[in-house]
């Protein structure tokens, strides 16, 4: 039986979060009325000239710095020529020979916590096309050019991934980087991150790559995994049946969970790139790059290391909490309020995540704010409430019963009784009410007493309606039962 | 480099230029002469010369990221052959 190895490379298009288009002053806001955000430049009207958006350049440079890439001093825009109705100029302004971001690398984290490096071939700036709406408009196709000219950063990896899981980890790492940098909202459902996946297989141990198929527009983490799984199986079966993989573009169909070849005209890929005469070479001196470097926020990998080394979290906890900007910010705000990183980590990954998962909520929409959770943890740490009561308080905060943990503790009378006199009173009562058990306890072996004391603790806790501090009850009970 | 009739037709198709057979034959001669000149240029040793991306000795100016354009949809669509619900209509594109 032949062993096969999968080889995957990805092209990820990230929509940059600029206010205006890459070459015009039209708005990029999502969801506007058709063609109300398509100006003369976006429409390719005669006589218009593109002017490059400084912020798109800054965002591309920040990405480059985040993946340790070279930022060449000069980059060029070129025209990629093809005809399609949602591309009114007849070419897409893009970059090829001299992209804005050179070779770099991204660290990915796999499920078992191990890390790997994936090389970035380059990243380039380009403009998005419009949208074709194929619903029936009197037998015609409708064109909305609002999206045309929206800045995209296309990030091209080397064929360094060997499984669908690695490919997903890579996209997640890119997603974390662009959202940490604030250069994209990373919203895959709205198309802010779109992936083309290059997949090939080869016999294990063979150095040469097999022929690859390119799967277009795979737009969620889950679909990436499914599309690759299907494609690998298709290629292996094809080869084992004596066939040959042909280099082609395929589309993933999430409804049927399969990839299908697209009918392509033979000259479809003849894009006849040439330098765009309307745009001059872009020159970025080292002062500009340093200026961007100075404005970089802390990145996911840096955060992970800080959580581990300075806050003393485990590698696993640090990895989970740093994986998304929203999660990391929430955790740090909780930690700020309760002043205990480990407790904050436990609550965010435990009770909070469980509740979020159950109701399919993102952490940004959590009904319990970081300040509320921090306030709750503070009351556990200063022994105001027991761990058990804390879960009740959390649920009440989740349900919106009150604004603060303190208000709920007060309203529900959950304050732990730590007053020794009060607890002693309850213990005396329990001892008086349980003569049989007391005799058994006192006649029992030292080794068995530990278990037997549980009965008395339970009775006292019941008498206090759960508000007595269990450790205190335990030690006071031991004194009283053992002394007599 | 020699250019053939089929190359001219292919280039015309890529650029969506309609050519008759006769016109194509004429272009084979014209383009061949241009390519001959290019061959002459190719013979020059350019190994140590950086390719020129733009004839102007200047670099790209950047504009601040501000929305300066507002909808002129009605004006732009006044010259479109067909519009509906704010969309430009084109002959159906079959995927």
Q: Are residues A254 and A302 in the same domain?
A: no
In a domain, B55, yes or no: no
Q: Are residues A45 and A180 in the same domain?
A: yes
Query: In which band, very low, low, confident or very high, does the pLDDT at A25 lie, cut at 50, 70 and 90?
Result: very high
pLDDT, residue A268, reads 52
In a domain, B89, yes or no: no
pLDDT, residue A111, reads 81
Q: Are residues A246 and A366 in the same domain?
A: no
Q: How far is B18 from chain A (nearest CA, A)?
A: 15
Domain containing A448 — which CATH number? 1.10.10.410
In a domain, B68, yes or no: no
Is residue A484 scored above 60 in pLDDT?
Answer: no
In a domain, B74, yes or no: no
Cβ distance of A51 and B95 shorter than 8 Å: no
- Tell me, yes or no, if B50 comes closer than 8 A to chain A by beta carbon: no
Nearest by CB to residue A54, choosing from B62, B82, B87, is B62
Domain count, chain A: 3
Q: Are residues A278 and A326 in the same domain?
A: no
pLDDT, residue A390, reads 92
For the ranges A21-30, A264-273, A426-435, which has the lowest average pLDDT?
A264-273
- Quote the mean pLDDT of chain A: 91
**Average pLDDT over every residue of A458-475:** 83
Q: Are residues A143 and A76 in the same domain?
A: yes
pLDDT, residue A263, reads 59
- Tell me, yes or no, if A452 comes closer than 8 A to chain B by beta carbon: no
Nearest by CB to residue B69, choosing from A25, A98, A144, is A25
In a domain, B17, yes or no: yes
Domain containing B32 — which CATH number? 1.10.20
pLDDT, residue A412, reads 86
Q: How far is A154 from chain B (nearest CA, A)?
A: 20
Is residue A401 scored above 70 in pLDDT?
Answer: yes
Report the alpha-carbon distance of residue A86 to residue A195 in Å, rounded.
20
Of A372, A391, A412, which closes a domain?
Answer: A412
pLDDT, residue A52, reads 98
Cβ distance of B63 and A36 shorter than 8 Å: no
Cβ distance of A144 and B56 shorter than 8 Å: no
Q: Are residues A40 and A122 in the same domain?
A: yes
- Tell me, yes or no, if B57 comes closer than 8 A to chain A by beta carbon: no
In a domain, B81, yes or no: no
Higher pLDDT among residues A414 and A43, named by residue: A43
Beta-bridge mates of residue A261: A250
- Tell me, yes or no, if B75 comes closer than 8 A to chain A by beta carbon: no
Q: Is the pTM of this model over 0.90?
A: no
- Tell me, yes or no, if A20 comes closer than 8 A to chain B by beta carbon: yes
Instruction: Provide the 3-class DSSP secondary structure of residue B74.
Output: helix
Q: Are residues A398 and A446 in the same domain?
A: no
**Which residues from chain B sit within 8 angstroms of residue A73, using beta carbons?**
none
pLDDT, residue A424, reads 85
Q: Are residues A275 and A186 in the same domain?
A: yes
Q: State which residues form the domain around A303.
A: 298-412
**Chain A from 35 to 64: CB within 8 A of any B CB:** 35-40, 43, 45, 51-57
Cβ proximity of A161 and A195 under 8 Å: no
Longest dimension (CA), chain B: 58
Of A261, A291, A321, which closes a domain?
Answer: A291
Instruction: Provide the 3-class DSSP secondary structure of residue B87.
Output: strand
**Average pLDDT over every residue of A84-97:** 95
Cβ distance of B66 and A52 shorter than 8 Å: no
Question: Taking CA atoms, what residue in A is nearest to B66?
Answer: A20
Of A291, A321, A337, which closes a domain?
Answer: A291
**Average pLDDT over every residue of A408-425:** 82
**Chain A from 107 to 136: CB within 8 A of any B CB:** 132-134
Cβ distance of A267 and B10 shorter than 8 Å: yes
Higher pLDDT among residues A388 and A238, named by residue: A238
For the ranges A122-126, A466-470, B63-67, which has the lowest average pLDDT?
A466-470
Q: Are residues A447 and A386 in the same domain?
A: no
pLDDT tens digits, A98-107: 999 999 999 9
How big is the A-B interface in CB pairs under 8 Å? 128
Q: State which residues form the domain around B38.
A: 5-42
Question: Taking CA atoms, what residue in B is nearest to A262?
Answer: B95
Q: A345 to each of A196, A214, A362, how far by Cα in Å? A: 36, 41, 17
**Average pLDDT over every residue of B18-29:** 92
pLDDT tens digits, A420-466: 788 888 888 888 888 888 888 888 887 888 788 888 888 888 888 77
- Tell me, yes or no, if A283 comes closer than 8 A to chain B by beta carbon: yes
3-state secondary structure chain A: CCCEEEEEEEEEEEECCCCECCCCCCECCCCCCCCCCCCHHHHCCCCCCCCEEHHHHHHHHHHHHHCCCCCCCEECCEEEECCCCCCCCCEEEECCCCCCECCEEEEEECCCCCEEEEEEEEEEEEECCCEEEEEEECCEEEEECCCCCCEEEEEEECCCECCHHHHHHHHHHHHHHHHHHCCCCCCCCCCCEEEEEEEEEEECCCCCCCCCEEEEEECCHHHHHHHHHHHHHHHHHHHHCCCCCCCEEEEEECCCCEEEECCCCCCCCCCCCEECCCCCCEECCHHHHHHHHHCCCCCHHHHHHHHHHCCCCCHHHHHHHHCCHHHHHHHHHHHHHHCCHHHHHHHHHHHHHHHHHHCCCCHHHCCCCHHHHHHHHHHHHCCCCCHHHHHHHHHHHHCCCCCCHHHHHHHHCCCCECCHHHHHHHHHHHHHHCHHHHHHHHHCCHHHHHHHHHHHHHHHHHHCCCCECHHHHHHHHHHHHHHC
**Chain B from 18 to 47: CB within 8 A of any A CB:** none
Strand order in the sheet with A91-94: A91-94, A78-81, A274-275
Q: Are residues A230 and A327 in the same domain?
A: no
Is residue A223 scored above 70 in pLDDT?
Answer: yes
Longest dimension (CA), chain A: 103
Q: Are residues A144 and A278 in the same domain?
A: yes
ipTM surpasses cut 0.90: no
**Average pLDDT over every residue of B31-44:** 93
Domain count, chain B: 1
Query: In which band, very low, low, confident or very high, does the pLDDT at A266 lie, cut at 50, 70 and 90?
Result: very low
Counting residues of chain A whose pLDDT is more than 90, the rounded percentage is 67
Q: Are residues A269 and A376 in the same domain?
A: no
């Amino acid at each position: 039986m032949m062993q096969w190895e999968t080889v995957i490379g990805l092209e990820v298009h990230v929509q940059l979060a600029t206010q205006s288009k890459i070459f015009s002053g039209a708005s990029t806001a999502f969801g506007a009325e058709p063609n109300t955000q398509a100006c003369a430049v976006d429409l390719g009207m005669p006589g218009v000239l593109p002017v490059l958006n400084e912020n798109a350049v800054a965002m591309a440079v920040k990405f480059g710095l985040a993946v340790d890439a070279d930022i060449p001093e000069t980059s060029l825009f070129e025209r990629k020529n093809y005809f399609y109705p949602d591309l009114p100029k007849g070419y897409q302004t893009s970059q090829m020979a001299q992209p804005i971001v050179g070779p770099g690398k991204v660290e990915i984290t796999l499920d078992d916590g191990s890390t790997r490096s994936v090389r970035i071939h380059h990243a380039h700036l380009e403009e998005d096309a419009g949208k074709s709406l194929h619903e029936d408009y009197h037998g015609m196709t409708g064109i909305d050019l609002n999206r045309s000219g929206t800045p995209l950063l296309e990030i091209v990896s080397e064929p360094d991934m060997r499984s669908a899981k690695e490919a997903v980890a890579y996209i997640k790492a890119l997603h974390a980087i662009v959202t940490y940098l604030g250069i994209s909202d990373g919203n895959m459902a709205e198309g802010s991150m779109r992936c083309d996946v290059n997949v090939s297989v080869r016999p294990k141990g063979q150095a040469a790559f097999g022929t690859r198929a390119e799967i277009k527009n795979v737009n969620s983490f889950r679909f990436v995994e499914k599309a690759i799984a299907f494609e690998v199986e298709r290629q292996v079966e094809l080869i084992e049946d004596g066939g040959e993989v042909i280099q082609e573009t395929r589309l993933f169909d999430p409804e049927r969970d399969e990839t299908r070849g697209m009918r392509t005209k033979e000259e479809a890929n003849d894009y006849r790139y040439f330098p765009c005469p309307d745009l001059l070479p872009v020159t970025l001196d080292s002062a500009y790059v340093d200026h961007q470097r100075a404005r970089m926020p802390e990145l996911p990998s840096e955060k992970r290391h800080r959580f581990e080394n300075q806050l003393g979290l485990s590698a696993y906890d640090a990895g989970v909490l740093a994986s998304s900007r929203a999660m990391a910010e929430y955790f740090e705000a909780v930690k700020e309020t309760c002043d205990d990183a480990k407790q904050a980590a436990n609550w965010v990954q435990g009770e909070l995540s469980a509740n979020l998962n159950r109701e399919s909520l993102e952490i940004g929409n959590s009904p319990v704010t970081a300040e509320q959770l921090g306030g709750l943890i503070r009351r556990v740490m200063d022994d105001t409430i027991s761990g058990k009561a804390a879960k009740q308080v959390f649920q009440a905060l989740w349900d919106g019963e009150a604004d603060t943990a303190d208000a709920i503790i007060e309203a529900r009378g959950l304050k732990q009784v730590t007053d020794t006199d009060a607890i002693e009173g309850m213990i005396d009562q329990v001892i008086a009410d349980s003569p049989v058990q007391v005799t058994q306890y006192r006649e029992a072996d030292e080794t068995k007493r530990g278990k037997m004391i549980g009965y008395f603790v339970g009775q006292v806790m019941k008498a206090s309606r759960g508000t007595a501090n269990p450790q205190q009850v335990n030690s006071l009970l031991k004194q009283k039962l053992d002394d007599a | 480099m020699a250019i053939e009739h089929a190359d001219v037709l292919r280039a015309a198709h890529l650029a969506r230029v309609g050519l008759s057979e006769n016109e194509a034959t004429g272009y084979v001669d014209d383009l061949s002469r241009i390519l001959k000149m290019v061959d002459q240029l190719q013979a020059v040793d350019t190994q140590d010369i950086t390719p020129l991306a733009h004839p102007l000795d200047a670099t790209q100016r950047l504009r601040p990221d501000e929305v300066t354009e507002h909808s002129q949809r009605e004006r732009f669509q006044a010259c479109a052959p067909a519009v509906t619900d704010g969309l430009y209509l084109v002959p159906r594109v079959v995927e």
